[in-house]
């Protein structure tokens, strides 16, 4: 029977979800853009190469191909196999090995299990056995493996900028130790990064003992020390807070971006998400209030969000504190009331929020973020104390007393000429120290500088005087070390590979400088472990430690604290009210970047190409501004017909300093503020980070490191081209994301299905379902499917990097992203709804949904995309001829095409503007075409890139070439791997089914990385599997259900939990209101999916 | 008036036609053969750096395949033994034989022996040895009677068609796992059929013909 495709319902009264301001404006340009198969530029060759060039290249290629056929094509090259001469113990070629280790970050660590193929680490996973981890990782941990193979990392020891032998450098450290021993470390200064390593702490103590005159400074450009400092102040003992979000029913974030901006986001997201997953309408869930300046991931997931300038967060805290005091029967101090007057216009918001907190005494939490002044933290503690949250939602751990000075004090010593030898351990102060210190010059105040660094960066450039030494740092996957996770559990850092370039670790340098006998990092860590382990059998305990990846029962014990009201009140008294920001006196907020952190991941291609979760910008940072302020300042941000993001390039002045950068509208940002991400605009970096973004550090000073007021935005001089994934693959405002408020969900649990479109006028799917036939086959055991919970997905993007790492997905560069050719298999669609000044934001991870009746399959002329009998929509690269019909016919736009040989593209060509012609371009002094002819595998990659970057590839996944379509495979290599393992185990028996009870079902890479556990994969033919249970929930719905594509991946609708008493309460989420406005009925009016009359009639006829 | 073209040009059209036919035929034949899975390396028998004889070791001496290829039941890859494995015996047997000089050198210095690869699947094919040998597919099915070879020869095509022949009809090929390494075992076709059917049923053999079974 001929089937008529259903009409796609068009928005009648404007779009429902808008992904960008252009879409909200619904311009003709946008419509033209949205109706194309691929966005403009993606499918055309718009490069500088002319038709004539093209013919030239093609004819030359044919000539060479012809020659090749005569020369080599007739016989295959002889290949050699080089076996071991002596097999390493416990090694089987081809079987991956896993090692437990951890990635140290500032004050904590992420416990990891790292996969190693033939001695090279290839994939990072979280360690689910660790007592305070669910096996999740963040974007940085996932991407850190690429840093290991970074061809731009420091590869030599230098003195005065000239290469010296490793031994020479190490001898020098020993000599220095002798010298310091004589003068008690007179003039010796250390500048280190924050670390949780017990070994480093032990060595530091030994150094202090040996060299009584030495000083130790710690500097982090983005520091989370305020949490410890404020608790220490408020409780009169050295403690650090440990927040338990999973225990809190009400959470108030005072600029506390736990979903990505703070440390330990994986743990905090897990805690928050635990109370967002509701299985049935009667379940309760937590409520999140966010007070913030920028639109952050936390704000996007909040039930109530208050936009205020960064300096006003303290005022909100004060007002909230005063309300709580009043409500709990105390009397707020005058100062709190005085501070709170600045936010009088938000009085009702704060009062109702306070009432909600009081109603949840002991089960709520107020936290101030790392950018906020100590007073804001102290007020938050005061509230937590008043509400009895201590011991339930916030615990305190003993923090060792820090014997350290600040970078400003160190700078003073340098200025005063007190410093003989400055040892810089990691970090990059010449780039990221406060601008008023002028570090690059200041560093010259020391007679000699010894610097341990991972890159030859800005600080390396400042460390080139005759007496300056530069030591290359080993990657954590090459090092022995240790750390503590935030709960205090001791975790090992153990190497998976010998240092690729002979680098040294921080603790080794310290041990050598201390003149110790034990200088091998392994021995140092073992010696430290001896002091930590209480087991009788040390060897067994050490082995267990390395095997498990943590020391059991080594977590900090929570300690009882007493609130020191006097000190707290004093801290509050000492603060002054900040003046309100205006359009001529803007406030700048400097924030940690979701992609490159503080700049440490600037040369990491995966992170550079990871779209910012809010702005969806890649490869650079922008000056974000609220739409209202942009209008006030007469900034016009317009697009041309290609959705070409030409934005004003402006100069920002702040107290005599200035930076220049592109401005970008950020819906939901506080008015009269400017957001600037740190970590870009590097002067000295590798081939990836070069020319990306602007350097916001140039405005940061010692006095105002987090936010500063009084900035002026000058009228734009020119426009600038941005690359952004924001407008790509729009879904045209259909009910793709479904959400409801908790009350509405309780009243009408089937609201999500109520948004289904009428079914097509046929009970046959539009495309044949190959599984109908395949299901009849015996011995088909599994049917794979996935469920994604939009209620707990925060949009952190860890899944994107995990997928990139697992599936050998290339990076394409800024210029190719601008042409809409990014390759991510999983993307996170970000939608805004409502007014652009204060919108609601929603995330939706989107990848191949593995439709049973897949539209892509029926249009492929070469059967390169077909179904397998377990329900996977399989993509066969070796069959694909690149017609791109499949992508054209995919309603979800999840297929990715290799327009170029991205895996073989030299890194310095990523910036564009386009590929140089191989006829004239030379690499390493040789013509590209000849290089390619001699070694087609490697293409034109320079030797160092090729040798290193091929090591990161997963050998279980094909590396795709130019002209091939690709997309999410549900990690088919893991599924097949698990099936093979089970079959090998089964041998001559029938025990071949993978089951959840036996834990043999594999996890996909995205699922494994997800801290919220929002992605669940499994066997849908097993009704007891987790995924089947999720799919049977009432919140379950299918995206674009009316196409009857029957996707295997379905979504759980998002539930918001707003407080009805709040002034900004909306009975229905904006998206739901817009749905009603368009369709003329509310989801609640349809209890069950609407059935098309034609379908009904036909069913009746049977 | 003299001829513009000499007389011999009269033959030219014929030559052109003959030439075109010749070229056309060879191109067709070439594509027919080289561009299909039939173009495999059957018969490929390169000279190896050490004259190792499977016939002597496996057949005459009766060594188990897994003594040397010990990873075959665990890995996708059936490993080439290390020189150390050879030296387990050859530090006693033929310990000064000049033919084994390379093996001794490798064991002493750690320098690998450059064996020439014979069996190879393309990069986009993920063949797994372990699952085949543990589920009753004998070595002989893909490698031929390697226990009779003095110098290893590529015996079977190993093309996709070859794989599918068996995957479509596993009954005709699988045997009891304990006979997998018995390369000389002759099984009566009727017995094979009956036994094969039994095994496919009992072990729930699902020799997948989906693309995802081998291409990832």
Give the rounded percent of residues in chain A with a pLDDT score beyond 90: 68
Helix (H, G, I), strand (E, B) or coil at A41: coil
Q: Which of these ranges, A556-560, A727-731, A983-987, has the smallest mean pLDDT?
A: A727-731
Q: What is the pLDDT of residues A1034-1070, one digit of tens each?
A: 999 999 888 888 899 999 999 999 999 999 999 888 8
B179 vs A: CB within 8 A: no
Confidence of residue B36 (pLDDT cuts 50, 70, 90): low
**Greater confidence, A24 or A222?**
A222
Averaged pLDDT for residues A183-200: 93
Give the rounded percent of residues in chain B with a pLDDT score beyond 90: 72
pLDDT of residue A640: 47
Q: Quickly list DSSP for A715-757.
A: PP-EEEEE-BSTTTT--TTSS-S-EEEHHHHHH-TTHHHHTPP
pLDDT of residue A10: 43
pLDDT of residue A643: 62
Neighbours of A382 (CB within 10 A): 26
Residue A1095 has pLDDT above 80, yes or no: no
Answer whether A825's CB lies under 8 Å from A873's CB: no
Interface of B with A in 106-145 (CB under 8 A): 106-107, 109-117, 120, 122-124, 126, 128, 130-131, 134-136
Q: Nearest CA to A679 among A657, A665, A695?
A: A695
Q: Nearest CA to A72 among A941, A938, A933, A932?
A: A933
Which secondary structure element, helix H or strand E, spans residue A148, and what is its range?
helix A139-148
Rounded CA separation B104/B96 (Å): 9
B83 vs A: CB within 8 A: yes
Q: End-to-end CA distance of chain A, in Å?
A: 16
Interface contact B123-A94, CB threshold 8 A: no
From residue A477, give the alpha-carbon distance in Å to each of A94, A226, A511: 21, 30, 20
Alpha-carbon dihedral sign for residues A298, A301, A304, A307: positive
φ, ψ for residue A482, nearest 5 deg:
-150, 170
pLDDT of residue A35: 55
Residue A5 has pLDDT above 70, yes or no: no
pLDDT of residue B202: 92
Averaged pLDDT for residues A5-12: 43
pLDDT of residue B9: 87
Interface of A with B in 947-976 (CB under 8 A): 956-959, 969, 972-973, 975-976
For B100, which DSSP code? Answer: G
Rounded CA separation A318/A382 (Å): 10
Residue A34 has pLDDT above 80, yes or no: no
**Greater confidence, A637 or A414?**
A414
Residue A776 has pLDDT above 70, yes or no: no
Q: What is the pLDDT of residues A535-550, one digit of tens each?
A: 889 999 999 999 999 9
Instruction: Give me A284's structure tokens.
Output: 């309760």
Averaged pLDDT for residues A224-243: 94
Residue A661 has pLDDT above 90, yes or no: yes
pLDDT of residue A1044: 84
Q: End-to-end CA distance of chain B, in Å?
A: 74
Under 8 Å CB-to-CB from B137, ≥6 apart: which residues?
A: B166, B173, B174, B180
β strands within A405-459, DSSP E: 421-425, 448-453
CA distance A96 to chain B (A): 9
Q: What is the pLDDT of residues A900-918, one digit of tens each?
A: 889 888 888 887 666 677 7
* CB neighbour class for A833 (10 Å; exposed up to 12, middle 13-18, buried from 19): buried
pLDDT of residue A775: 63
Confidence of residue A930 (pLDDT cuts 50, 70, 90): confident
Q: What is the pLDDT of residues A45-64, one digit of tens each?
A: 555 556 666 666 666 665 55
Rounded CA separation A953/A809 (Å): 9
Averaged pLDDT for residues B59-87: 93
Q: How many whole angstroms from its chain centre is CA A337?
A: 39
Under 8 Å CB-to-CB from A840, ≥6 apart: which residues?
A: A832, A833, A834, A1069, A1070, A1071
pLDDT of residue A1088: 43
Q: Nearest CA to A250 among A397, A396, A387?
A: A387
Which of A87, A95, A874 lies at the smallest CB-CB distance from B212?
Answer: A874
Confidence of residue A1102 (pLDDT cuts 50, 70, 90): very low
What is the Cα Rg of chain A in Å? 30
Its ipTM equals: 0.89
Q: Which chain A residues have a beta carbon less than 8 Å from that of B210?
A: 868-870, 872, 874
Averaged pLDDT for residues B42-65: 92
A94 vs B: CB within 8 A: yes
pLDDT of residue A923: 77
Q: What is the pLDDT of residues A603-636, one digit of tens each?
A: 999 999 999 999 999 999 999 999 999 999 998 8
Residue B37 has pLDDT above 50, yes or no: yes
Answer whether A486's CB lies under 8 Å from A129's CB: no
Averaged pLDDT for residues A277-283: 91
Pairing relationship of beta strands A250-254 and A364-368 according to DSSP bridges: parallel
Rounded CA separation A971/A986 (Å): 23
Q: How many CB pairs under 8 A join A and B?
A: 149
Instruction: Give me B28's structure tokens.
Output: 């067709």
Q: Nearest CA to A382 among A249, A229, A562?
A: A562
Which of B71, B113, B216 lies at the smallest CB-CB distance from A976?
Answer: B216
Q: What is the pLDDT of residues A258-269, one digit of tens each?
A: 999 999 999 999
Tokens 């995205």 belong to A1006
Residue A1100 has pLDDT above 50, yes or no: no
Helices A521-532, A538-548: inter-axial angle, 10-degree rounding: 110
Residue A1089 has pLDDT above 60, yes or no: no
Q: Which chain A residues have a beta carbon less than 8 Å from that of B71?
A: 92-95
Q: What is the pLDDT of residues A414-470, one digit of tens each?
A: 999 999 999 999 999 999 999 999 999 999 999 999 999 999 999 999 999 999 999
Helix (H, G, I), strand (E, B) or coil at A550: coil
CA distance B212 to chain A (A): 6
Residue A1093 has pLDDT above 50, yes or no: no
Interface contact A85-B84, CB threshold 8 A: yes
Nearest CA in chain A to B70: A92
Residue B53 has pLDDT above 70, yes or no: yes
Averaged pLDDT for residues A160-184: 93
B41 vs A: CB within 8 A: yes
Q: What is the pLDDT of residues A76-94, one digit of tens each?
A: 678 899 999 888 888 899 9
Q: Nearest CA to A511 among A209, A212, A206, A208?
A: A206
Averaged pLDDT for residues A158-179: 93
Confidence of residue A11 (pLDDT cuts 50, 70, 90): very low
Q: Quickly list DSSP for A232-281.
A: HHHHSS-EEEEE-GGG-SEEEEES--TTTTSTTHHHHHHHHHHTT--SST
| CA within 13 Å, CB half, A385 | 21
Confidence of residue A659 (pLDDT cuts 50, 70, 90): very high
Which secondary structure element, helix H or strand E, spans residue A1016, and what is its range?
strand A1015-1019
Residue A728 has pLDDT above 90, yes or no: no
Answer whether A1027's CB lies under 8 Å from A1018's CB: yes
Instruction: Give me A771's structure tokens.
Output: 């599984």
CA distance B148 to chain A (A): 22
Enumerate the β-bridge partners of residue A451. Answer: A424, A470
Answer whether B202's CB lies under 8 Å from B135's CB: no
Averaged pLDDT for residues A849-868: 92
Instruction: Give me B76's structure tokens.
Output: 């996708």
Residue B44 has pLDDT above 60, yes or no: yes
pLDDT of residue A823: 94
Mean pLDDT of all residues belonging to chain B: 90
Q: Which of these ranges, A556-565, A720-729, B59-68, has the smallest mean pLDDT?
A: A720-729
Mean pLDDT of all residues belonging to chain A: 87
Which of A76, A83, A972 lies at the smallest CB-CB distance from B112?
Answer: A83
Tokens 């993606």 belong to A42
β strands within A823-941, DSSP E: 827-833, 840-846, 865-867, 873-875, 896-897, 922-923, 926-927
CA distance A960 to chain B (A): 9
pLDDT of residue A59: 65
Pairing relationship of beta strands A80-81 and A657-665 according to DSSP bridges: unpaired
Interface of B with A in 55-74 (CB under 8 A): 70-71, 73-74
Averaged pLDDT for residues A844-867: 93
Q: Which of these ranges, A699-708, A778-787, A1002-1011, has the smallest mean pLDDT?
A: A778-787
pLDDT of residue B76: 94
Residue A73 has pLDDT above 50, yes or no: no
Under 8 Å CB-to-CB from B132, ≥6 apart: which residues?
A: none
Angle at A373 between CA A371 and CA A377, to 5 degrees: 95
């Amino acid at each position: 029977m001929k089937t008529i495709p259903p009409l796609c319902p068009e928005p009648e009264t404007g779009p429902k979800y808008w992904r960008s301001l252009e879409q909200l404006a619904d311009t003709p340009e946008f419509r033209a853009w949205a109706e194309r198969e691929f966005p403009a530029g993606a499918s055309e060759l718009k490069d500088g190469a002319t038709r004539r060039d093209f013919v030239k290249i093609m004819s030359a290629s044919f000539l060479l191909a012809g020659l090749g056929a005569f020369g080599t094509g007739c016989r295959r090259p002889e290949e050699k196999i080089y076996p071991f001469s002596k097999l390493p113990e416990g090694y089987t070629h081809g079987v991956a090995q896993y090692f437990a280790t951890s990635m140290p970050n500032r004050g904590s660590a992420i416990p990891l299990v790292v996969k190693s193929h033939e001695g090279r680490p290839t994939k990072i996973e979280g360690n689910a056995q660790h007592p305070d981890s669910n096996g999740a990782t963040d974007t940085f941990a996932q991407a850190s493996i690429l840093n290991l193979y970074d061809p731009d990392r420091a590869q030599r020891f230098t003195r005065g900028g000239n290469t010296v032998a490793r031994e020479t450098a190490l001898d020098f450290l020993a000599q220095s130790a002798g010298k310091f021993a004589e003068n008690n470390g007179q003039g010796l200064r250390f500048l280190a990064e924050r670390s949780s390593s017990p070994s480093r702490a032990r060595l530091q103590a030994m150094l202090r003992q040996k060299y009584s005159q030495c000083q130790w400074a710690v500097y982090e450009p983005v520091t989370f020390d305020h949490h410890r400092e404020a608790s220490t102040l408020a409780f009169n003992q050295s403690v650090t807070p440990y927040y338990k979000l999973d225990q809190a029913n009400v959470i108030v974030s005072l600029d506390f971006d736990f979903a990505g901006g703070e440390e330990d986001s994986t743990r905090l997201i897990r805690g928050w998400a635990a109370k967002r997953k509701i299985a049935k309408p009667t379940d309760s869930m937590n409520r999140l209030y966010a007070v913030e300046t920028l639109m952050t991931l936390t704000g996007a997931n909040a039930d109530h969000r208050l936009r205020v300038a960064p300096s006003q967060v303290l005022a909100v805290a004060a007002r909230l504190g005063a309300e709580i005091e009043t409500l709990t029967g105390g009397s707020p101090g005058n100062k709190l009331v005085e501070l709170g007057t600045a936010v009088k216009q938000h009085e009702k918001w704060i009062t109702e929020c306070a009432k909600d907190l009081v109603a949840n005494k002991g089960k709520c939490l107020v936290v101030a973020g790392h950018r906020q002044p100590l007073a804001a933290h102290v007020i938050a503690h005061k509230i937590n104390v008043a509400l009895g949250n201590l011991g339930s939602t916030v615990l305190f751990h003993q923090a060792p007393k820090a014997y350290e000075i600040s970078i400003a004090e160190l700078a003073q010593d340098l200025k005063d000429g007190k410093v003989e030898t400055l040892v810089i351990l990691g970090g990059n102060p010449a780039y990221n120290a406060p601008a008023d210190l002028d570090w690059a010059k200041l560093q010259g105040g020391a007679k000699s500088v010894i610097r341990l660094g991972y890159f030859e960066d800005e600080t390396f450039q400042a460390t080139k005087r005759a007496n300056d030494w530069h030591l290359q740092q080993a990657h954590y996957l090459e090092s022995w070390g240790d750390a503590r996770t935030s709960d205090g559990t001791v975790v090992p850092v153990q190497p998976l590979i010998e240092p690729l370039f002979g680098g040294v670790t921080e603790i080794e340098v310290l041990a050598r400088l201390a003149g110790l006998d034990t200088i091998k990092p392994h021995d140092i860590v073992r010696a430290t472990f001896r002091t930590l382990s209480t087991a009788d059998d040390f060897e067994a305990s050490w082995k267990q430690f390395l095997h498990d990846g943590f020391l059991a029962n080594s977590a900090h014990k929570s300690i009882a604290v007493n609130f020191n009201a006097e000190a707290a009140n004093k801290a509050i008294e000492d603060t002054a009210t900040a003046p309100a920001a205006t359009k001529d006196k803007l406030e700048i907020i400097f924030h940690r970047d979701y992609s490159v952190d503080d700049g440490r991941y600037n040369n990491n291609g995966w992170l550079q190409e990871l779209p910012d979760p809010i702005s969806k910008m890649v490869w650079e940072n922008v000056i974000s501004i609220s739409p209202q302020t942009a209008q006030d300042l007469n900034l016009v941000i317009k697009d041309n017909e290609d959705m070409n993001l030409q934005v004003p390039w402006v100069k920002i002045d702040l107290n005599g300093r200035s930076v220049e950068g592109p401005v970008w509208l950020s819906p939901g940002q506080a008015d009269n503020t400017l957001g600037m991400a740190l970590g870009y605009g590097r002067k000295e970096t590798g081939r990836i980070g070069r020319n990306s973004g602007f350097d916001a550090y140039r405005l940061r000073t010692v006095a105002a490191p987090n936010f500063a007021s009084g900035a002026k935005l000058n009228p734009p001089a020119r426009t600038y081209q941005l690359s952004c994934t924001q407008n790509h693959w729009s879904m045209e405002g259909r009910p793709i994301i479904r959400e409801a408020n908790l009350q509405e969900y309780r009243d009408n649990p089937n609201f999500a299905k109520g948004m289904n479109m009428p079914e097509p006028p046929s009970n046959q799917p539009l495309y044949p379902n190959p599984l109908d036939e395949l299901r009849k086959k015996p011995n088909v055991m599994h049917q794979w499917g996935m469920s994604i919970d939009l209620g707990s997905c925060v949009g952190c993007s860890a899944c994107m990097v995990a997928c990139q790492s697992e599936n050998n997905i290339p990076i394409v560069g800024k210029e190719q992203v601008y042409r809409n050719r990014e390759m991510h298999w999983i993307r996170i669609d970000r939608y805004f709804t409502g007014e652009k000044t204060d919108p609601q934001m929603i995330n939706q991870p989107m990848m191949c949904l593995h439709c049973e009746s897949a539209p892509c399959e029926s249009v492929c002329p070469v059967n390169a995309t077909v179904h397998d009998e377990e329900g996977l929509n399989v993509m066969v690269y070796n069959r694909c001829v690149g017609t791109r019909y499949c992508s054209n016919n995919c309603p979800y736009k999840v297929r990715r095409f290799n327009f170029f040989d991205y895996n073989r593209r030299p890194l310095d060509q990523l910036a564009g503007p386009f590929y140089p012609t191989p006829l004239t371009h030379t690499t390493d002094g040789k013509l590209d075409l000849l290089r390619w002819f001699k070694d087609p595998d490697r293409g034109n990659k320079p030797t160092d890139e090729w040798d290193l970057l091929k090591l990161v590839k997963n050998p279980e996944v094909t590396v795709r070439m130019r002209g091939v379509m690709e997309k999410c495979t549900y990690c088919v290599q893991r599924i097949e791997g698990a099936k093979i393992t089970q079959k090998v185990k089964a041998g001559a028996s029938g025990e071949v089914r993978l089951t959840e009870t036996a834990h043999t079902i594999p996890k996909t890479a995205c699922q494994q990385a997800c801290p919220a556990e929002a992605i669940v994969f499994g066997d849908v033919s097993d009704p007891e599997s987790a995924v089947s249970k999720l799919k049977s929930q009432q919140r379950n719905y299918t995206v674009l259900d009316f196409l009857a594509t029957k996707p295997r991946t379905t979504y759980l609708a998002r539930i918001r939990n707003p407080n009805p008493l709040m002034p900004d309460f909306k009975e229905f989420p904006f998206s739901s209101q817009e749905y009603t406005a368009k369709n003329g009925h509310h989801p609640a009016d349809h209890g069950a999916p609407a059935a098309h009359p034609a379908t009904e009639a036909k069913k009746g006829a049977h | 008036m003299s001829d513009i073209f000499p007389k011999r040009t009269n033959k030219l059209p014929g030559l052109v036609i003959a030439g075109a036919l010749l070229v056309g035929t060879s191109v067709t034949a070439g594509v027919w053969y080289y561009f299909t899975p039939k173009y495999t390396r059957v018969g490929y028998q390169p000279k190896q750096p050490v004259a190792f004889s499977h016939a002597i070791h496996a057949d005459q001496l009766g060594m188990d395949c897994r003594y040397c290829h010990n990873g075959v039941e665990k890995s996708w890859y059936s490993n080439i033994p290390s020189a150390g494995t050879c030296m387990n015996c050859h530090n006693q047997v033929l310990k000064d034989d000049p033919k084994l000089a390379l093996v001794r050198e490798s064991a002493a210095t750690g320098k690998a022996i450059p064996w020439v690869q014979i069996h190879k699947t393309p990069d986009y094919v993920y063949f797994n040895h372990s699952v085949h040998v543990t589920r009753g597919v004998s070595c002989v099915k893909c490698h031929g009677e390697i226990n009779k070879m003095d110098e290893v020869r590529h015996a079977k095509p190993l093309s996709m068609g070859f794989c599918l022949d068996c995957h479509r009809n596993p009954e005709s090929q699988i045997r009891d796992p304990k006979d997998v390494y018995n390369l000389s075992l002759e099984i009566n076709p009727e017995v094979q059929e009956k036994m094969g059917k039994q095994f496919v049923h009992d072990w729930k053999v699902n020799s997948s013909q989906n693309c995802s079974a081998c291409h990832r």
